[in-house]
Structure 1
Amino acid sequence: MTCLPPVKHAYIRSDVWRVDVTSPKIVGVGTSVPKTSYTQQALLDEFNITDPRVRSVFLNSAIERRGLTLPPLLPDGTRGTETQGDLLRKQCSHGLSMGREAVEACLKNTNAELADVRYLCVVTSTGLLTPGFSALLIKELGIDRHCSRLDVVGMGCNAGLNALTAVAHWAAAHPGELAVMVCVEVCSAAYVFDGTMRTSVVNSLFGDGSASVAVRASENAHEEDSATGPALLRFSSCIIPEAIDAMRYEWDDSHGKYSFYLDPEVPYLVGSHAEVAFERLVEGTGLRRSDISHWVVHAGGKKVVDSVRVNLGLTRNDVRHTTGVLRDHGNLSSGSFLFSYERLTSEGRVAPGKFGVFMTMGPGSTIEMALAGW
């Protein structure tokens, strides 16, 4: 468990706990998706999928549509087969485009300029680029060349909170300076099409998207920060080593490209450890689940969300933004929880004195959590 400095006040229950004004705060958020989006039915028709088992996976996913960049059309009207090189080029070009849009939307939401960015952290799990997206985006956006940067690559759907931990600590150590994180996931650059149930489960679930968040700590402990976003109070991790192979991205010799694998037991595995992860997060604070007003959960899939909800005793209303993001975009990997957070802030229901929990899950197998306070 990680608590963020400075710790001048005990973080206990909401009736005695006041958030230190110098704690790093989320001060803006922005998202981006591809211009092309498809319903699940349209994708089945596009690839002429007739297997009833595969069709059932697509149509019972609680996903209505997803933003994707499909393989190019051939003269006969079918979709071409992309090499690993094609997929990496797709990752770079579409990732840069979405990443730029997400950062620009985030800065607009923050009332900040590109010149204000002092730290840039970029998260991706759908392709390996060297130089990484942080360097490419600094050049693309024209960010100051002295901007500190970090690339978090290959950690999977949980990685947004792993990276946010580093971003929050950087912001705490540099009061007044703006840190920006952007998750860039071109999931259509990580697809294999072979008609098997293994690949069909993955192909039915993920969508392309990018999400950015800005974090800053106040310079003055005696003045209230005008930002309305929550303070990031502490982070916790729960890795399940015995399930290390349950989610994995590996080379597939038969197709000559990388392929993602999801064990069918993943939803139940994550759900069964959700309470342990939460108890670790709030250990020593006196907070209970009933003290948490807002839940920002990764849209990992219908079964995953249901399993987490049941094991934590949450209502469908608690995860309304998670299920809404899943419905409209699919699983957006590392940035998915920020799409949910953006919907929460747009709703206008957050209020001072309330607490929230961010939760992501992914390969490891891992559950990441953050405690936030308004």
Structure 2
Amino acid sequence: MLLSENPVRQDDIRLSDAPWAATRGGPSILGVGTSNPDSSYTQEDLLDLYDIQDRRIRSVFLNCAIDKRFLDVPPYGDDGRPRTETQGELLAKHKARGTEMGARALQSCLKQIGAAVSDIGYLVCVSSTGLLTPGFSALLIREVGIPTDCSRLDVVGMGCNAGLNALNATTGWASANPGRIALMVCIEVCSAAYVFDGTMRTSVVNSLFGDGAAAIAVSHGTPETERTGPQVLKYASCIVPDAVAAMRYDWDDDQGKFSFFLDRDVPYVVGAHAETVIGNLLSGTGLRRSQIAHWLIHSGGKKVIDSVAVNLGLTRHDVRHTTGVLRDYGNLSSGSFLFSYEQLMREGVTRPGDYGVLMTMGPGSTLETALVRY
């Protein structure tokens, strides 16, 4: 089913249409910052780089609605091709590149809102592309000079949905500490989770994910903190236990690495439960789905986006940022929706009183959502 190209704008939406949402206060998003590796590759570049000739695998790469991705490919071997990395080398790349990208995204976010690292009261770091102890929160505190008494949390292994799980914790801390800045950083070095073994299983993953980091700052308003972004009003979750194995990491004995698995039915599982979680999100607010002006959905893949859009009755215009991020960056895991948010804010089309929905999907299988008011 094709989605409509025409944007649908509900110009008659006013705060009075939804008394609950109109009066409900919440922490505000102050700003966002993103970063990627220096090197980007088209899908054709990667096929040539790895000398992939299998027609089925080439078709997967060339028909996934991705033009390019930012990746940290391994050094070349004697054969002129990227050499195979051990699990230890992948973890080292996750740590080094993740810390560097996370620091740049964090600093970009602070610069945007005119804040200093000394203003950060709470730091949440999210990643699913490697395991670190200590985690990225400790590494970033050392790297950029965040106060050592900063409260912190590391969210590890939750997958692509984790950005909203962590934002829930971030806004919760901000609500309990009015006027203080809470900052979340999603750091995903997806190239540190690649396995190249020539199978269709690994090729699907390798054709989709890119490297990137995104930081978002929030604060609960006081006279000293001017609200510059939307208020976060409410969260809703939906987990599908029957699909717990649909997205997962397995240990590959032959490769000596962790290998990510994506079930072919993931798009349909996610799409089939999209209405349920959005219904729960809007329940009790007085809002109808048609009154949501801005949709920021995780760039999980073309089929995932299409399935969610069809089940929610969204247009191509509604998901333009989601598809744009997929096209230009690939699936950035937990930080994808923040790249979409950054694009929306650059457009400058939001109006006071507009409502928006943030949606992420990932292992569990899980759908996470948040309702915001601009």
- Report the CA distance shift for 1:228/1:20 in structure 2 as closer, same or farther (over 3 A): farther
Segments of structure 2 that go 5 or more residues without pairing to the other structure are 1-14
Rounded to whole Å, the distance in 1 between the matches of 2:342 and 2:32 is: 6
Rounded to whole Å, the distance in 2 between the matches of 1:313 and 1:259 is: 35
Rounded to whole Å, the distance in 1 between the matches of 2:105 and 2:336 is: 13
Rounded to whole Å, the distance in 2 between the matches of 1:346 and 1:273 is: 31
Question: For residue 306 of structure 1, what is the aligned residue in structure 2?
Answer: 306
Is the Cα contact below 8 Å between 1:236 and 1:280 reproduced in 2? yes
- Superposition map of 1:226-241 within 5 A: 226-241=226-241
Rounded to whole Å, the distance in 2 between the matches of 1:192 and 1:19 is: 49
Question: Paired residue for 1:167, among 167, 170, 177?
Answer: 170
2:156 counterpart of 1:157: no
Is the Cα contact below 8 Å between 2:35 and 2:213 reproduced in 1? yes
Question: For residue 338 of structure 2, what is the aligned residue in structure 1?
Answer: 338
2:152 counterpart of 1:129: no
1:76 positional shift: 2.6
Superimposed CA distance per residue, residues 220-270 of structure 1 (whole angstroms, 9 cap, x where no aligned partner)? 5xxx96322100000011000000000001211111010000000000110
Question: For residue 272 of structure 2, what is the aligned residue in structure 1?
Answer: 272
**AA of the residue aligned to 1:131:** P
Is the Cα contact below 8 Å between 1:22 and 1:217 reproduced in 2? no
1:16 positional shift: 3.5
TM-score, scaled relative to structure 2: 0.94
**AA of the residue aligned to 2:56:** R
**AA of the residue aligned to 1:297:** I
Q: Name the SS for the 2:109 alignment partner.
A: helix
Question: For residue 76 of structure 2, what is the aligned residue in structure 1?
Answer: 73
**AA of the residue aligned to 1:161:** L
**AA of the residue aligned to 1:301:** G
Q: Name the SS for the 1:359 alignment partner.
A: strand
Question: For residue 372 of structure 2, what is the aligned residue in structure 1?
Answer: 372
TM-score, scaled relative to structure 1: 0.94
Rounded to whole Å, the distance in 2 between the matches of 1:145 and 1:302 is: 42
Q: Name the SS for the 2:273 alignment partner.
A: helix
Question: For residue 4 of structure 2, what is the aligned residue in structure 1?
Answer: none
**AA of the residue aligned to 1:312:** L
Question: For residue 283 of structure 2, what is the aligned residue in structure 1?
Answer: 283
Q: Name the SS for the 1:193 alignment partner.
A: coil
CA RMSD of aligned residues (A): 1.5
**AA of the residue aligned to 2:212:** G
Rounded to whole Å, the distance in 1 between the matches of 2:210 and 2:123 is: 24
Question: For residue 100 of structure 1, what is the aligned residue in structure 2?
Answer: 103
Rounded to whole Å, the distance in 1 between the matches of 2:75 and 2:195 is: 15
Is the Cα contact below 8 Å between 2:161 and 2:367 reproduced in 1? yes
Q: Name the SS for the 1:198 alignment partner.
A: helix
Rounded to whole Å, the distance in 2 between the matches of 1:28 and 1:202 is: 31
Q: Percent identity?
A: 63
Rounded to whole Å, the distance in 1 between the matches of 2:263 and 2:140 is: 34
Rounded to whole Å, the distance in 1 between the matches of 2:257 and 2:295 is: 36
Question: For residue 216 of structure 1, what is the aligned residue in structure 2?
Answer: 219
- Report the CA distance shift for 1:134/1:99 in structure 2 as closer, same or farther (over 3 A): same
**AA of the residue aligned to 2:342:** E
